């Protein structure tokens, strides 16, 4: 049963980006490819650290997530914008610091913790943006990603910080974004089927 849940989480994680990709192609949103590239780096580091810690279920989830964010980067080269901010630079520097600490202390947990902390800091502006302008976000992507992460958490056989930390964080992060975007859109009377072209952070 746990294997079935793990496979389902992988499929969902890969498919989570599809609604967002459709929005990009339909010109309903324009992703900032620098930010999405940063997210790709974070999940890639988390993937390598999870594999190193012998946590395949967590690793496969973050690998699928990294694949999805990378697709957004590729599409963003044509439909998005490239706006490099100081915040992006700090996040990417944090990724490098996490990798250096991992190799110095030979602890993949350090890299995973660093990825979660950096990702959470990056989540805060997105949470604020989702609250103020929910019509400029794709709630379906975060809803599917939430379900994928939740299934991964349930499928993990033995408890381990390196195995549970990033999936559990994604349950919180993606769940919070999906709920905020959906219910704020409803409250503000915003059509969930966006028509305007937006710039996604």
Tens-digit pLDDT profile for residues 95-145: 888 888 888 888 899 989 988 988 888 788 788 878 988 887 788 989 999
User: pTM to 2 decimals?
Assistant: 0.83
The list of the chain residues with pLDDT below 70 reads 192-201
- Looking at residue 194, its pLDDT comes to 54
> What are the domain boundaries of the chain?
2-200
- Looking at residue 177, its pLDDT comes to 92
Q: How far is CA 118 from CA 40, 90, 103, 113, 181, in A?
A: 12, 9, 18, 9, 22
- Looking at residue 200, its pLDDT comes to 52
């Amino acid at each position: 049963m746990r294997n079935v849940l793990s496979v389902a989480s992988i499929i969902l994680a890969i498919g989570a980006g599809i609604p967002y990709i459709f929005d990009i192609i339909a010109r309903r949103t324009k992703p900032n490819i620098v930010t999405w590239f940063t997210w790709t780096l974070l999940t890639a580091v988390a993937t390598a650290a999870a594999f190193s810690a012998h946590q395949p279920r967590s690793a496969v989830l973050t690998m699928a997530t990294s694949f999805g964010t990378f697709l957004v980067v590729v599409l963003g080269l044509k439909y998005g914008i490239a706006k490099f901010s100081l915040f992006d630079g700090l996040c990417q520097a944090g990724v490098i610091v996490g990798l250096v600490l991992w190799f110095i202390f030979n602890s993949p947990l350090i890299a995973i913790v660093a990825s979660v902390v950096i990702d959470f800091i990056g989540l805060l502006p997105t949470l604020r943006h989702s609250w103020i302008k929910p019509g400029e976000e794709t709630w379906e992507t975060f809803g599917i990603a939430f379900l994928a992460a939740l299934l991964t958490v349930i499928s993990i056989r033995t408890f381990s910080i390196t195995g549970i930390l990033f999936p559990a964080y994604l349950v919180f992060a993606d769940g919070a974004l999906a709920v905020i975007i959906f219910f704020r859109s409803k409250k503000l009377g915003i059509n969930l089927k966006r028509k305007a072209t937006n710039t996604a952070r």
